[in-house]
Structure 1
């Protein structure tokens, strides 16, 4: 894991984007990261009905999702300044 990319233990549900939002910090810069409900459902293996379940699934798969986000950040695969895992 690249120690120059940090992930604070904060996440929230973004209703408009149907995604869990979390933040990465690289060299002092904050990078907004999103993981879509569709991606969470693939990981979970079932339909996610509520924001609470989406957050719980995110927390359960947090390490794997942070690894994916880290790879996208290192590859500079930003979408309008954000990382989207879908």
Structure 2
């Protein structure tokens, strides 16, 4: 990191920002409660649809977010079904 970027800050890529936000949300949920399903999942799903729709037209029902807890392990699974025209 250069001295100039330290004082002026660096522009982060949207993927890095999204990853940081998701890590913050997960850390918050881990420390705050022990319920079965986190209450942020519907909002997370809506935001993911909005971001992906900027690049590829998808049906909101084609994106599924699933959260599972087993003992000390927490898994957040995101399944996105892309239309045939979007696949390379």
Normalised to the residue count of structure 2, the TM-score between the two structures is: 0.24
Normalised to the residue count of structure 1, the TM-score between the two structures is: 0.24
Q: Which has the larger radius of gyration?
A: 2
The structure where helix makes up a greater share of residues is 2
Structure with bigger RCO (C-alpha 8 Å, 6+ apart): 1
